[in-house]
Amino acid sequence: MNTLSRRHILQSTACGFGYLAVSAMCAERAAAATTLKPQTPPLPARAKRVIFLCMSGGPAHLDTFDYKPQTGKKPHAGSVFKFKRHGESGLPVSELMPHTARHVDKLCVLNGMYCDTGNHAQSFLQLHTGERLRTRPSMGAWINYGLGTENQNLPGFISLNTSKPSVYSSAFLPPVFEGTPIGVNGEDMSKATIANIAGKHLPNEIKRRQLDLAQAMNRQHLTSRDQTDDLEGVIQSLELGYRMQSSAPELLDISDEPESVLEAYNVGKQKARKTCKQSDFGRQCLLARRFAEAGVRFIELNHGSWDQHKYHREELTANCEAVDKPIATLLADLDQRGLLDETLVVWGGEFGRPGLLPDGKKNETGHNPRGFTFWLAGAGVKPGFAYGRTDPTGGQAVEGKIHFRDLHATILHLMGLPHNDLSVHHEGRNHRLTGPQGGHVVNGILA
């Protein structure tokens, strides 16, 4: 015996007109929940986009941006590297970052960062999603969900040299908001492409006709379903994938860049090391600028590993050498093109590290989630400004403390998104990037 569904009864009775009205409302709501079209933010926005310079493994804050004088005693503090004050702000920067130091007056240095755990996987996940243990939408997916993308031919969220799918996942958000990965950890970035959009085996006209047929079947299937967000997301993703075939390859091809630009970004100059995987960070920074110009909303770059348990001095020096010049060039390039005022640049990793004693007998460090450094630059933050501090040993944040939840809340605020209201109902409760505890906007760093 055939069973009539509620949908079928509504369609087949005098309530059919009511069904049509409700159906139209649901379709409108589903479309709004899955569209990549630019959305007007609820709050005044200082930033249009984010470039996240992710230093996977935990950069040593005491050897980069958090200056402490060496005591030579335990608990040890300070750095075995020299520091110098730079710019009009006089902010201290390690000798390992000479190029970035020239742009210190653009930086807002957060020396009071802290998080919940010293385990790499959990802290890295919390940095990206707000959660330590469960798969949740990443920060880029939340921003993509809240604002859409400025360029309908490109994804709103791109993850370069990505390591794990969890860091660009949309989780329970519609899949169209998921990050698009380009390259995997350690891959030669000169050969990295966006998966499944290349190929000239068919003319574009034929590809369009194939997609139209598939989409017609998808939309027919959509009309018979009560829960439509996932399928709407698939339909949107397929359309985006088709449009990307013309725009994305051109942006990934940097052969049109002058040799002087490639040299300034240090493209192809990174040296591969046993504990520092190849990532061509210079190419990533150049691509980030190109994607920012093209209207991508959230761009993540990844460099690793900063997990220097052994050979700390040598490996930290190599990592800083790999990222320093490209980062400085990116900041200068964004500024010269008028993009820095509307782009929020974020630098940091999943936690910090204790310092080394100057006697040279020990050349390895551990993990320190209790106090470490991030810096921001660009749209909406105070330039040439240091906020917060760690104790004299650099071991714990004691002033201007900023948890990852507070960092997330502040980034969303700068993008015009209220962190408490940007939420999705899933599995019986509302979820948000800042979690059930919530975060606090760090007003003290806002320009």
> How confident is the model over 429-446, as pLDDT tens digits?
899 999 998 999 999 999
pTM for the whole thing? 0.84
Residue 18 is assigned to a structural domain of this protein: no
Residue 409 is assigned to a structural domain of this protein: yes
Report which DSSP code applies to 194: B
pLDDT beyond 50 at 85 = yes
Residue 16 is assigned to a structural domain of this protein: no
- State how far the Cα of 315 lies from the Cα of 305, in Å rounded to an integer: 9
Q: What percent of the chain shows pLDDT beyond 70?
A: 74
- The whole-number pLDDT of residue 244 equals 58
**Averaged pLDDT, 311-340:** 95
Indicate the pLDDT class of residue 192, thresholds 50, 70 and 90: low
Residue 380: HSE in the Cβ half-sphere, 13 Å Cα cutoff: 22
- The whole-number pLDDT of residue 330 equals 98
Indicate the pLDDT class of residue 328, thresholds 50, 70 and 90: very high
Question: Where is pLDDT greater, at 32 or 55?
Answer: 55
Contacts of residue 65, Cβ cutoff 8 Å, sequence gap at least 6: 91, 92, 93, 94, 97, 109, 111, 373, 375
Question: Where is pLDDT greater, at 11 or 225?
Answer: 225
Report which DSSP code applies to 352: B
Question: Where is pLDDT greater, at 269 or 276?
Answer: 269
Residue 24 is assigned to a structural domain of this protein: no
CATH number, domain of 271, equals: 3.40.720
Residue 80 is assigned to a structural domain of this protein: yes
378-410, pLDDT tens digit by residue?
A: 999 999 999 999 999 999 999 999 999 999 999
pLDDT beyond 50 at 169 = yes
* Torsion of the alpha carbons at 379, 447, 392 and 126, rounded to the nearest 10: -50
229-240, pLDDT tens digit by residue?
A: 666 666 666 556
**Averaged pLDDT, 161-178:** 87
Nearest Cα neighbor of 345 from 110, 67, 79, 7 is: 110
Structural domain that includes position 389: 33-445
pLDDT beyond 80 at 276 = no
Other C-beta atoms lying within 10 Å of the C-beta of residue 90: 12
- State how far the Cα of 36 lies from the Cα of 415, in Å rounded to an integer: 16
Question: What's the mean per-residue pLDDT of the chain?
Answer: 84
Indicate the pLDDT class of residue 9, thresholds 50, 70 and 90: very low
Indicate the pLDDT class of residue 22, thresholds 50, 70 and 90: very low
pLDDT beyond 70 at 412 = yes
**Averaged pLDDT, 243-250:** 65
- Measured in whole angstroms, the distance separating CA 351 from the mean position of its chain's CA atoms is 16
Indicate the pLDDT class of residue 223, thresholds 50, 70 and 90: confident
**Averaged pLDDT, 137-163:** 91
- The whole-number pLDDT of residue 14 equals 43
- The whole-number pLDDT of residue 115 equals 97
Which of 3-7, 164-168, 308-312, 323-327 is predicted least confidently?
3-7
Residue 3 is assigned to a structural domain of this protein: no
Residue 129 is assigned to a structural domain of this protein: yes
- The whole-number pLDDT of residue 318 equals 92
- The whole-number pLDDT of residue 360 equals 63
**Averaged pLDDT, 164-189:** 83
pLDDT beyond 80 at 289 = yes
What 3-state DSSP class applies to 180?
A: strand
| Helix 204-222 / helix 229-252 crossing angle, nearest 10 deg | 160
- The whole-number pLDDT of residue 279 equals 73
- The whole-number pLDDT of residue 186 equals 58
- The whole-number pLDDT of residue 69 equals 86
**Averaged pLDDT, 411-419:** 97
pLDDT beyond 60 at 29 = no
Question: Where is pLDDT greater, at 195 or 400?
Answer: 400
The structural domain count of the chain equals 1
Residue 408 is assigned to a structural domain of this protein: yes
Do 327 and 370 touch, CB atoms closer than 8 A?
no
